[in-house]
């Protein structure tokens, strides 16, 4: 499913984009600006927003959550 652009309902600073946790099938919508996450099936709204760290776990020392994810082409 190709989604139309969704503006982040938390910070309104960026578009939500699909990302995947590396090495897994876990995909989610992410706001690159404020690191808010929406899991598949949840309506992108303020109440359903998750924290990136809650979804992918704490990164190893010296890395960030962004080292654990990669852009996903969900079609
Ligand atoms: Zn945001």
pLDDT digits (tens, 9 = 90+) for 7-66: 999 999 999 999 999 999 999 999 999 999 999 999 999 999 999 999 999 999 999 999
User: 62 CA distance to ligand 1 centroid (A)?
Assistant: 24
Beta-bridge partners for 17: 30
User: 29 CA distance to ligand 1 centroid (A)?
Assistant: 11
Q: Which of 7, 24, 25 lies closest to 16, judged by CA? A: 7
Q: pTM of the full predicted structure?
A: 0.88
- The C-alpha atoms of residue 41 and residue 11 are separated, in whole angstroms, by 21
41-55 pLDDT per residue, tens:
999 999 999 999 999
Task: Dump strand ranges (E) for the chain.
Answer: 17-21, 27-30, 36-38, 50-51, 69-71
- The C-alpha atoms of residue 37 and residue 15 are separated, in whole angstroms, by 12
User: 4 CA distance to ligand 1 centroid (A)?
Assistant: 16
């Amino acid at each position: 499913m190709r989604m139309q652009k969704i503006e982040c309902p938390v910070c309104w600073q960026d578009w939500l984009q699909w990302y995947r946790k590396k090495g897994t099938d876990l995909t989610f919508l992410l706001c690159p600006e404020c690191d808010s996450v929406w899991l598949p099936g949840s309506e992108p709204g303020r109440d359903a927003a998750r924290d990136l760290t809650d979804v992918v776990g704490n990164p190893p020392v010296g890395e960030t959550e962004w080292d654990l994810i990669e852009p996903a082409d969900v079609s």
